[in-house]
Structure 1
Amino acid sequence: MSDTKTEAPTAVTGRWPVIAWGLWDWGSAAFNAVITTFVFSVYITSDSFGSGASAKLGWALATAGVLIALFAPITGRRADSSGRRTFWLTVNTALVIVASVGLFFVKPSPDYLWLGLVLLAAGNIFFEFASVQYNAMLNDISTPDNVGRISGFGWGLGYLGGIVLLLIVFYGFIDPEVGLFGVTDKNGLDVRVTMLLCALWTLVFSLPVILTMRDDKAARQPRGQSVSVIESYRQLFGTIRDLWNTDRNTAYFLMASAVFRDGLAGVFTFGGVLAAGTFGFTPSEVIIFAVAANVVAGIATIASGTFDDWLGPKPVIVGSLTCMLVAGSTIFFLHDRGATIFWTFGLLLCVFVGPAQSASRTFLARLIPEGKEGEIFGLYATTGRAVSFMAPAAWSGFIVLGAAVTGVADKDSAEHWGILGIMLVLGLGLALLTLVRSGENPRSALGS
């Protein structure tokens, strides 16, 4: 026990490192909420970029997901072994900022569609790589007694950061005819300048953790001892094989949660696109909906902790996914009844996203044998990345299917079919979850 404490980093304890760490989550809302979900994704799928832009967005994000699946599993392992976690957090965050700046040059014309999609996909890839390093820092600033509160603090700052930035964007650039600095919507300038603000926002709120969580030079591995990419994959597959042989229940949960978590991500990724394309929301109305969605998601996530402790995490996940399937199906079947349907059932979808995500994490915490927390939570992140192409592919695939079934020439007219793709991913995750046992004291059962 004493050896473990000696090896663990101790230079980052205290209140400020926690705040600095959480501010990265606040800053990440710029790319995660504003760019990917509610502003740029809506902009790039507008009529200005030609027919079929929504489906092409799905394929671009699906391709990004495949690349994340191929390379994200080894980024955390290699950063840990090299002792350069902050360095790689810095590099990947910087690349997200570069991609955000690049989006400023995407003008509202079909000629710029693929530039926008490629930059958006690249930003998603580097954002996920940065998130691997960021999540891995949690154990460096927390103890078993406060890890849940600290994790929730960062998650909460992410929601709050999204709300604040969306309000700034809405009242500063999108809503006024002439916004700050004389910006108007001519040639998409309001959205394009928002991309520059997002880049600045990410930069400013990433600096605290980068400057605070310094890499320990003494912990760095000599260059000659670094693990090759092939060896990193070999070790990863060895971990998965050992888990499958010794703790299959946890393996089942990792598979199930990876699938339904990708469906949860798909709800937010394509929610703004659906609001604008199918229900006719203006960019301003999409942002208002986004603020409301973040508010209800944040409140519901905090409140769900009581039910998690009372009923256990599995009923919370099952109940959340079931309600989401009902709400999503209602949106599909009643889409022709106007924006009221989306406001009602779209917000209902958002109510259950946070509780399902939070309960998923606590479920796994109860399954992990003592002493295996870091390894299994690392695999939890890996499996989520490995299937991150499913929801985008299902979204685009069902739009194509819907166009074929209804016989419409314009795929954008079948965009509402994409919601069925997201529901399929959530339903598959729910079905896989039925394979997972939940007991009163799973830790003691797995510890032997």
Structure 2
Amino acid sequence: MTSKQAVVSWALWDWGSAAFNAVIITFVFAPYLTKGVAANETDGSAQLGYALSIAGLIIAVIAPAAGTRADVAGRHRFWLGLHTFIVVASMAGMFFVRDSPEYLLLGLILVATGSVFFEFAEVSYNGMLLRIASEKNIGKLSGFGWGMGYFGGLVLLVLMLFAFIQPDVGLLGASDADGLRYRLVAAAAAAWFAIFAIPILITGPKNPPRDDAVEASGPLAAVKAFLGDYKRLIRRLGELWREDRRTLHFFLASAIFRDGLAAIFSFAGVLAAGSYGFSASEIIVLGIAANVVAGTGALIGGPLDDRLGSKTVIVAGLLCLIAGTVPIMISENQTVFWVCAMVLSFFVGPVQSSSRTLLARITPAGREGENFGLYATTGRSVSFLGPLAFSTAISIFGFQRAGVLGIAVVLLLGLLIVIPLRVRHVRVH
């Protein structure tokens, strides 16, 4: 039986994590870094891209071993807590980033550090799904978690908008002086994440250590443990190639279509401002609406996942996403963009949720961290694909809206790879 307390505690972490994704990365703090802190927006954007690229490389290298370490020692909850703490500390540190170029490096380091450890935290968090779900409800619970994340982002964005961003002088004296309103948003977001992470760290499921757990000792214990984890990882990849190529098949397909999903949110604001003339406040409102619709889609898609299967939801969702990009490319009308943005948001949630669920369904017990570590790594390994396709399409056709065609091509490629995937012997431990 699935404990309701365990489910709620698990989903509350997703609710709180929106403080980093929605507020820090997408809608508030990262734009503040590039526009308010950097000497100019062009250089600031480039430097932010470099910082996140370095963070992505670190994640690609370390995430699989981090997942293996959690599996072997049976300490998903411990690592989730440690990594969440580092993310929260990075967010809190952003309060000290003033709107002057000499603070840009500090801001970039904090954003990159938060990105690295947020990804590490998600490895353990996703691995816990198999400990709280049953075969009958894993899709529903995964969708519930994604939905909580989107609605958490909605609530927090609304609070930040009215408390700090919109008023001339907001809560706690928030104003444009020294970038105070954005610094207060970062501090408030850190507190939000910390509060909602507490339940899972207290009540989260514990994993027993695996039989092959070996504790390294001596001054080089951490290095020995890390290298040992990579040896296990290499053996795991060999096992997958010999015995379970469908998992490798899924990693490839999901890495591509998930990058397309990420590109939708990454460039929505850019398109809204550049091609449709949205103001800064209108972009935040767009983000709020997108979170509502995406959360609703995730909640609806979860039960459909349990009934129809994860792959069916993924394929149907990708088809709808591809279709939703076409009107944006051919129309300059704001209403058309709003409608299409909501359609895209609605189907992003179910595809994200069912992607996680499908991996959980085909993952054997005791391998959760390894597989979700590989899930993170494969996603990062092609993280250049969406932005490159977006920019290339613009260069070829000569107008910004054409970028969505590049995103559609990435989604189509992921769809074509996932269609032949055979999902059999669905089982949850």
- TM-score in terms of structure 2 length: 0.84
The DSSP-based 3-state class of the residue aligned with 1:178 is coil
Aligned position for 1:322: 319
**What RMSD, in angstroms, separates the aligned Cα atoms of the two structures?**
3.4
Aligned position for 2:245: 248
Tell me the distance in 1 between the aligned counterparts of 2:374 and 2:168: 45
Q: Which amino acid aligns with 1:98?
A: A
Q: Which amino acid aligns with 2:282?
A: E
Tell me the distance in 2 between the aligned counterparts of 1:236 and 1:72: 11
Aligned position for 1:39: 28
Residue deviations 1:178-207, cap 9 Å, x none? 211221234432222100101111111122
Residues 159, 294 of structure 1: 8 Å contact kept: yes
Aligned position for 1:343: 338
The 5 A counterparts of 1:213-362 are: 213=204, 222-224=215-217, 228-305=225-302, 307-308=304-305, 312-334=309-331, 337=332, 339-362=334-357
Aligned position for 1:3: none
Tell me the distance in 2 between the aligned counterparts of 1:350 and 1:96: 26
Tell me the distance in 2 between the aligned counterparts of 1:416 and 1:364: 34
Going from structure 1 to structure 2, the CA distance change for 1:93 and 1:365 (only over 3 Å counts) comes to closer
Tell me the distance in 2 between the aligned counterparts of 1:157 and 1:134: 14
Aligned position for 1:431: 416
Q: Which amino acid aligns with 2:73?
A: S
Aligned position for 2:425: 443
Is 1:76–2:76 an aligned residue pair?
Answer: no
Residues 399, 416 of structure 1: 8 Å contact kept: no
- Kindly state the Cα deviation for residue 392 of structure 1 after the two structures are TM-superposed: 4.8
- Kindly state the Cα deviation for residue 350 of structure 1 after the two structures are TM-superposed: 0.8
Residues 360, 368 of structure 2: 8 Å contact kept: no
Select 1:172's aligned residue among 149, 159, 163. Answer: 163
- Kindly state the Cα deviation for residue 28 of structure 1 after the two structures are TM-superposed: 0.7
The DSSP-based 3-state class of the residue aligned with 2:168 is coil
Identical columns (%): 43
Is 1:29–2:18 an aligned residue pair?
Answer: yes
Aligned position for 1:140: 131
The DSSP-based 3-state class of the residue aligned with 1:62 is helix
- Kindly state the Cα deviation for residue 67 of structure 1 after the two structures are TM-superposed: 1.3
- Kindly state the Cα deviation for residue 69 of structure 1 after the two structures are TM-superposed: 0.9
Tell me the distance in 2 between the aligned counterparts of 1:418 and 1:391: 16
Going from structure 1 to structure 2, the CA distance change for 1:119 and 1:291 (only over 3 Å counts) comes to same
Tell me the distance in 1 between the aligned counterparts of 2:131 and 2:306: 26
Residues 106, 115 of structure 1: 8 Å contact kept: yes
The DSSP-based 3-state class of the residue aligned with 2:79 is helix
The DSSP-based 3-state class of the residue aligned with 2:167 is coil
Residue deviations 1:236-265, cap 9 Å, x none? 122222222223233212210122123223
Is 1:106–2:97 an aligned residue pair?
Answer: yes
Tell me the distance in 1 between the aligned counterparts of 2:337 and 2:278: 10
Residues 59, 392 of structure 1: 8 Å contact kept: no
Select 1:385's aligned residue among 377, 387, 405. Answer: 377
The DSSP-based 3-state class of the residue aligned with 1:91 is helix
Q: Which amino acid aligns with 2:19?
A: A
Tell me the distance in 1 between the aligned counterparts of 2:92 and 2:84: 13
The 5 A counterparts of 1:111-130 are: 111-130=102-121
Q: Which amino acid aligns with 1:348?
A: V
Residues 59, 393 of structure 1: 8 Å contact kept: no
Residues 101, 199 of structure 1: 8 Å contact kept: yes
Is 1:199–2:190 an aligned residue pair?
Answer: yes
Residues 308, 316 of structure 1: 8 Å contact kept: yes
- Kindly state the Cα deviation for residue 393 of structure 1 after the two structures are TM-superposed: 5.8
Going from structure 1 to structure 2, the CA distance change for 1:229 and 1:142 (only over 3 Å counts) comes to same
Residue deviations 1:301-338, cap 9 Å, x none? 2223455456544343223223323333543454xx25
Tell me the distance in 2 between the aligned counterparts of 1:212 and 1:376: 19
The DSSP-based 3-state class of the residue aligned with 1:426 is helix
Q: Which amino acid aligns with 2:425?
A: R
The DSSP-based 3-state class of the residue aligned with 1:177 is coil
Going from structure 1 to structure 2, the CA distance change for 1:401 and 1:350 (only over 3 Å counts) comes to closer
Residues 55, 399 of structure 1: 8 Å contact kept: no
- State the aligned residue count: 419
Residues 139, 310 of structure 2: 8 Å contact kept: no
- Larger CA deviation: 62-71 vs 303-312: 303-312
- Kindly state the Cα deviation for residue 169 of structure 1 after the two structures are TM-superposed: 0.6
- Kindly state the Cα deviation for residue 80 of structure 1 after the two structures are TM-superposed: 2.6
Residues 23, 206 of structure 1: 8 Å contact kept: yes
Tell me the distance in 2 between the aligned counterparts of 1:15 and 1:323: 33
Residues 42, 283 of structure 1: 8 Å contact kept: no
Residues 63, 376 of structure 2: 8 Å contact kept: no
Q: Which amino acid aligns with 2:318?
A: L
- Kindly state the Cα deviation for residue 128 of structure 1 after the two structures are TM-superposed: 0.6
Tell me the distance in 1 between the aligned counterparts of 2:188 and 2:54: 27
Residues 139, 303 of structure 2: 8 Å contact kept: no
- Kindly state the Cα deviation for residue 380 of structure 1 after the two structures are TM-superposed: 4.5
Tell me the distance in 2 between the aligned counterparts of 1:269 and 1:15: 34
The DSSP-based 3-state class of the residue aligned with 2:169 is coil
Structure 2 regions of 5+ residues with no counterpart?
none
- Kindly state the Cα deviation for residue 100 of structure 1 after the two structures are TM-superposed: 0.9
- TM-score in terms of structure 1 length: 0.81
Going from structure 1 to structure 2, the CA distance change for 1:313 and 1:76 (only over 3 Å counts) comes to closer
- Larger CA deviation: 256-265 vs 110-119: 110-119
Tell me the distance in 2 between the aligned counterparts of 1:108 and 1:398: 30
- Kindly state the Cα deviation for residue 16 of structure 1 after the two structures are TM-superposed: 3.0
Going from structure 1 to structure 2, the CA distance change for 1:378 and 1:217 (only over 3 Å counts) comes to closer
